[in-house]
Amino acid sequence: MVQLFGHSFRFTVFLLGVIEALTVYAAIFLIATLVVHSPDGPSGLTSAATLPALLTIVLMLALGIYEPDARANLAIMTERLAVACVAGVGIGFAIVYLFGDMWVSPLYAITCASFSYGAVVIARYVFSRVVRFVPLQRRVLVIGDKAGETKVRETALAGNGGSNVVATATCEEAVTPNALLNHAHLLDVSEIVVADRKSPLPAAALLDCKAAGIRIIDSLDFGEQETGKVDLENLYPARFIFSKNVGYSSWSMKAKRLLDLAIGGSTLLLLSPILLLTAIAIRLDSPGGVFYRQTRVGLNGAPYEIIKFRSMRNDAEAGGTPQWAQENDSRVTRVGHFLRQTRIDELPQLINIFRGEMSLVGPRPERPFFVEQLEEKMPFYAERHRVKPGLTGWAQIKYRYGATEEDAREKLRYDLYYVKHFNVFLDLFIMMRTVRVVLWPDGVH
């Protein structure tokens, strides 16, 4: 596993990303060398190729071409890759033209986008063929009984095959001197998952393996790194108390706040024409105000008033009883349906962010009425209020639209993972992934 953006990535996916990033840059630089005449020589070519390549790579990540569905489905991958190549190259060369002294013809930009697209498709095909024969998957040895092995295998499958459980050993079998280490070396194991914490641990044997460079991890941590969510049923307070997270340090919190102000401010400025048109459309579509204000629960359980564009009829809760929002809610107006699909209805929350009541990234805020109910039924629900609520979040990019209590439970698993692991880099990753959530209907959560 590779630690990046605050959580674990499979080595194979990380390696694939590096290869494809180099492929994009090489493709654009090659075309630049063959086509573009730069008075500055090679340095001019480098500057002409670097920004478009960098933006293309960022968009490839943002649009989710390294997600399990895109890795498993060529059609999904090529669709997202096409958007990333066209937008990355187009925006990159537009910036080079506007702020530099190098003219790039549209034909050249199209050639670069096409060449990058083809190069990445070929690179991924070759990689997928090679990876079948090269043991790049993490080989895992489980310490525990058959039930423990089964659970770890199920977790590995839920994590979309990034790890391969190759064997199981009981605590009693592992006690024999050098037996566990020799067994691990024989199987070429890179990680040992301890699934049995009830029996006395073979401490000496595990420490020998750790000294030999084999990673030792318990089943709960294994589940978190594989699935990106916590095991709610087996969670206990020490999992929060002793978790290592630099996100709560003073410098990290200041950086998060600076990021909120910088990106929130620039977004508000760039999208101001869209906000104005949205306000007009709401007024023309149905009677009532443009904005919708509602009390939500924020940091440390403190209530605040959220601001959104109104997407429902004025009489949506005429009975006075709060109701769960449904996926195809009949109370949503025609304009409101579009606003929800594109998430434009959420944009006025930038005002909440400037006030310091929210952050760009965090668990979605819930109403006090539902919070009281969910805290009674779900353990650790209140822990999601340890960080500011967000405009987008880990649960929003990992799980579908939530309309039931069970959906809230599943989203809580992702929210608590974020609470345990958040940092500025994970926030940036979530913001990039939100682009896909907005652009693809299958990604709207």
Domain boundaries, the chain: 2-130, 138-227, 247-314+323-443
Give the residues across from 140 on adjacent strands: 165, 191
Percent of the chain with pLDDT over 90: 19
Under a CB-based contact definition with an 8 Å cutoff, are residues 141 and 184 in contact? yes
- Single-letter amino acid, residue 276: L
pLDDT of residue 431: 85
Give backbone dihedrals phi and psi of 307, rounded to 5 degrees, phi first.
Answer: -120, 125
- Single-letter amino acid, residue 24: V
Kindly state the DSSP code that residue 81 receives in the 8-state scheme: H
- Single-letter amino acid, residue 62: A
The yes-or-no verdict on residue 220 having pLDDT over 60 is yes
In the chain, what is the straight-line distance between the N-terminal and C-terminal CA atoms, in Å? 27
Under a CB-based contact definition with an 8 Å cutoff, are residues 66 and 13 in contact? yes
- Going by pLDDT thresholds of 50, 70 and 90, the confidence category of residue 72 is low
- Average pLDDT estimate for 126-154: 76
Q: Give residue-wise pLDDT tens across range 141-168.
A: 999 888 888 888 888 877 655 678 888 8
DSSP for 150-173 reads: HHHHHHHHHTTSSEEEEEEE-HHH
Instruction: Tell the residue number behind the tokens 């579509």, with chain if given.
Output: 285
Under a CB-based contact definition with an 8 Å cutoff, are residues 82 and 117 in contact? yes
pLDDT of residue 390: 94
Q: Give residue-wise pLDDT tens across range 322-376.
A: 665 655 666 788 888 888 888 888 999 999 999 999 999 999 999 998 899 899 8
Mean pLDDT of the chain: 81
The yes-or-no verdict on residue 100 having pLDDT over 70 is no
The yes-or-no verdict on residue 246 having pLDDT over 70 is no
Instruction: Please state which of the ranges 48-52, 180-184, 354-358, 384-388 shows the lowest mean pLDDT.
Output: 48-52
- Average pLDDT estimate for 183-192: 86
DSSP for 214-257 reads: -EEEEHHHHHHHHHSS--GGG--THHHHT---GGGSHHHHHHHH
Q: Give residue-wise pLDDT tens across range 30-45.
A: 776 666 555 554 445 5
- Going by pLDDT thresholds of 50, 70 and 90, the confidence category of residue 444 is very low
Is 0.85 topped by the overall pTM? Answer: no
Q: How far apart are CA 443 and CA 70, in angstroms?
A: 12
Integer angstrom CA distances of residue 57 from 11, 22, 152, 320, 432? 18, 9, 33, 49, 11
Strands (E) across 144-263 are located at: 163-169, 191-194, 215-218
Give backbone dihedrals phi and psi of 362, rounded to 5 degrees, phi first.
Answer: 170, 175
Under a CB-based contact definition with an 8 Å cutoff, are residues 434 and 445 in contact? no
The yes-or-no verdict on residue 298 having pLDDT over 90 is yes
The sign of the dihedral angle between the CA atoms of 247, 250, 251, 254 is: positive
The yes-or-no verdict on residue 287 having pLDDT over 70 is yes
- Average pLDDT estimate for 237-264: 82
Helix (H, G, I), strand (E, B) or coil at 127: helix
- Single-letter amino acid, residue 114: S
Q: How far apart are CA 408 and CA 401, in angstroms?
A: 10
Give the residue from 420, 332, 429, 330 showing the smallest Cα distance to 380.
420
Give the ranges where 321-423 is alpha helix by DSSP (H). 334-342, 350-355, 368-377, 394-398, 405-421
Angle at which helices 424-439 and 250-270 pack, to 10 degrees?
Answer: 30
- β-strand pairing of 138-143 with 191-194: parallel
Q: Give residue-wise pLDDT tens across range 378-437.
A: 889 999 999 999 999 999 888 876 667 788 889 999 999 999 888 888 888 888 888 777
Q: How far from the centroid of its chain's Cα atoms is residue 228's Cα?
A: 9
Give backbone dihedrals phi and psi of 191, rounded to 5 degrees, phi first.
Answer: -150, 140
CATH number of the domain located at residue range(s) 138-227 in this protein: 3.40.50.11060
Give the residues across from 62 on adjacent strands: none
- Single-letter amino acid, residue 36: V
Instruction: Tell the residue number behind the tokens 């904005």, with chain if given.
Output: 291
Give the residue from 277, 346, 276 showing the smallest Cα distance to 311.
346
